[in-house]
Structures are given as C-alpha cells and as structure tokens.
Structure 1
Amino acid sequence: MGNLANCPRCGNLFVKSLRPICQDCHNEVEEMFQKVYTFIRERKNRQATMAQVVEATGVPAEEITRFIKEGRLHLRHLPNMEYPCESCGKGIREGRLCTSCQKRIEKELAAYEKEKETQKKDQNRYQTYHSLDNRLKKEENQ
C-alpha cells in the first residue's frame, strides 16, 4: 500500500505508489510526450532543433530533456536535437555533462586525490613514536 504524499508538480495530495506524481500530472506529462513524439515522428520534422520542437508543440524544453534522459526519446534519428549540459549549458546529445566539463571534473578529482595523498604522507612523516618506558623496563629486568 502506498503512502500519502503531495505531488511535486501541483501540490495536490495523492497516494504515492508506482509514480512520484499524481494521476492528473501523469496524464498531463503523457499528453506532452505524445505531442512531442507525434511531431518528431514525422519525417519532415526529424531535422528540427530543440527550439523548433518547443515552438511547434508548446512543450517546455525541460520536459523534452527529461523525456530524453529517461530514454523515452532517442536522438539517434534526430541529428539536430540537443539538450543543455548540466554544468555549463552547452548543447549535448548524451549523458549529463559535455566532454569539457567531464574532463575538468576528472582533473579536479585527480588534483584532490593527489593533495589528499600528499597530506597523508606528510602526516605519516611527522608521527613519531617513543617507547622509553619499554627500554627502561628492559634495563631494570637485566
């Protein structure tokens, strides 16, 4: 049995079970998807850009992008369709980040790991253990 929740789109109370949104919002999203799908399915519209699809269907670019990321729309046969990189906004055709942002993040992670390793080596270098008590005990026992 599902839990009661507020729909993140409209705020109405609904029983959350299979979908994270209420039935009315789900129907609205499905209607938007059908508009986009019907538009790009026509051969003459396969060369359309994101802006042209938005203009022709009235569906917001964010929704179309979500359809692409969910795998409901495939860009294989849509050569001019792109959606924005989540970091810089540059147009991309797959994933969440463009290649330049991916490389930048990888470089930053590598630098962070290198710094972390350097700090660990420095910390180990300055740790000194003294065991005078053990040496004194040995001398007393002899």
Structure 2
Amino acid sequence: MELSNCYRCGKLFAKAYRNICQDCARDIEAEYTRCADYLRQNRQATVIELSDETGVSTRQITQFIREGRISVANMPNLAYPCEVCGEFIRDGHMCENCRRRLMNDLERAKQDNSNANAASDKHSTGTYRISEN
C-alpha cells in the first residue's frame, strides 16, 4: 500500500485511487452537494454568486464543471475564467481568442523553425573528404 500526502490538506494517508485523504474527499462531496442544492433553486446564478452563497471556492466549482459534475447546459450564467486572460468561458481551459492566438503562435514558430532549417541547409552545401597521402 502506497502512502502519500493529501494535496489539499497535506495529511499522510494510504493512497487508493485519489490524491486526497478521506476527510478531504468527504469535504469535497459536501461542497458539491451544497452547490447542486443551491443551483436547483437558482439556475441564474454565476460562479461568483454560487461561491459566495455556498462558501465553496470558485476553483472547486470550476473543477466540478470540468469534471461534468455540474452541467452548464441549463445554467445560462454559469461560467468560469479563462486560464490565460480571465474572460468567462463555459468549457475547456481557454477562451476562443486565446486558443486562436496560441494556434497562430505555434504555426508561426513552426514556420520560423522551417525557415531556419532551410537557411542552415543553404549554407552547408559542401562536403569534406579526408585524403590519405
């Protein structure tokens, strides 16, 4: 049996299938229940409002959404911040603008790398031989 420290509270525990201890797992389930109960009565809630009313961190609420435990389908105002710019999004980690900018940057880096390789190939056209006399 592997022993590990809980990433949430730091307590040493026998790791089974989670990276958190039983106490923290119980706390997270209680937080989820508070969020789900609140959302059943307040479908127009935002993540900030949900956090303020339940005492659950926005980070944990975002995790519930990403895990699919809280669905944003019937919650028109339930969104969380893009990890890059902070714009509110309803899925993934980045907004469309940041995702597009990242793809453009990757494409430009790939093109720069291709141009650098072509330039180095152009400068090294000769071969060398060592002759034995």
Q: TM-score, normalised by structure 1?
A: 0.87
RMSD value, Cα: 1.8
Please list, as runs of the form range in 1=range in 2, the aligned pairs for 1:96-115 lying within 5 A after superposition. 96-115=93-112
Residues 57-102 of structure 1: CA deviation (Å, up to 9, x unaligned): 1111111001001111110000011101011111001111001101
SS of structure 1 residue aligned to 2:48:
helix
Task: Decide which of 44, 49, 53 is 2:46's aligned counterpart.
Answer: 49
Residue segments in structure 1 that go unaligned for 5+ positions in a row: 135-142
Residue segments in structure 2 that go unaligned for 5+ positions in a row: none
SS of structure 2 residue aligned to 1:48:
coil
Task: Decide which of 61, 76, 82 is 2:79's aligned counterpart.
Answer: 82
Bigger CA drift: 112-121 or 52-61?
Answer: 52-61
Structure 1 partner of 2:36: 37
- Aligned in 2, Cα 1:64/1:132: closer, same or farther, shift over 3 Å? closer
Percentage of identical aligned residues: 37
Query: How many angstroms apart in 2 are the aligned matches of 1:55 and 1:6?
Result: 29
Aligned residues between the structures: 133
SS of structure 2 residue aligned to 1:75:
coil
Please list, as runs of the form range in 1=range in 2, the aligned pairs for 1:57-136 lying within 5 A after superposition. 57-130=54-127
Quote how far apart the aligned CAs of 1:51 are: 1.6
Query: How many angstroms apart in 2 are the aligned matches of 1:6 and 1:35?
Result: 26
SS of structure 2 residue aligned to 1:4:
strand
Which protein has the bigger helix share? 1
Task: Say which one has the larger Rg.
Answer: 1
Structure 1 partner of 2:5: 6
